[in-house]
């Protein structure tokens, strides 16, 4: 049920259908990251502790992942993070960084 709600919310945001513009918080970003899956284990990136840090400043979201940039699913995870967080009305940019 949560996945369906998240999909509807994502659709509304990406098509400009959201009428109530609530400022984005770190808690909201973390909640959305719980819907980004780690395909290796089939669980979200928050539960698998793949997310090292999340920051929000002046419309820029930074997500640091404990995952090498050359991991086979790194690009998929990055794209899914952009999809879940990038459509928020007050987010100008999403930066995803990987472990060295």
Kindly list the domain boundaries of the chain, sorted by start residue: 2-99
Reported as type and span, the H/E element at residue 55 is: strand 51-57
Residue 22 has pLDDT above 80, yes or no: yes
Query: Residues near 65 by Cβ (< 8 Å), separated by ≥ 6?
Result: 45, 50, 51, 52, 74, 77, 96, 97, 98, 99
Using DSSP bridges, classify how beta strands 60-68 and 93-99 pair: parallel, antiparallel or unpaired.
parallel
CATH of segment(s) 2-99: 3.30.300.130
pLDDT digits (tens, 9 = 90+) for 40-80: 899 999 999 999 999 999 999 999 999 999 999 999 999 99
Q: Residue 70 burial by CB count (10 A; 0-12/13-18/19+): exposed, middle or buried?
A: exposed
Predicted pLDDT of residue 19 = 67
């Amino acid at each position: 049920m949560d996945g369906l709600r998240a999909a509807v919310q994502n659709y509304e945001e990406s098509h400009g259908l959201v009428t109530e513009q609530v400022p984005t918080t770190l808690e909201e970003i973390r909640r959305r990251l719980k819907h980004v899956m780690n395909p290796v284990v089939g669980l979200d990136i928050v539960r698998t502790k793949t997310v090292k840090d999340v920051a929000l400043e002046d419309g820029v979201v930074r997500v640091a992942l404990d995952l090498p940039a050359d991991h086979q699913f790194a690009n998929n995870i990055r794209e899914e993070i952009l999809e879940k967080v990038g459509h928020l009305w007050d987010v100008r940019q999403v930066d995803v960084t990987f472990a060295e």
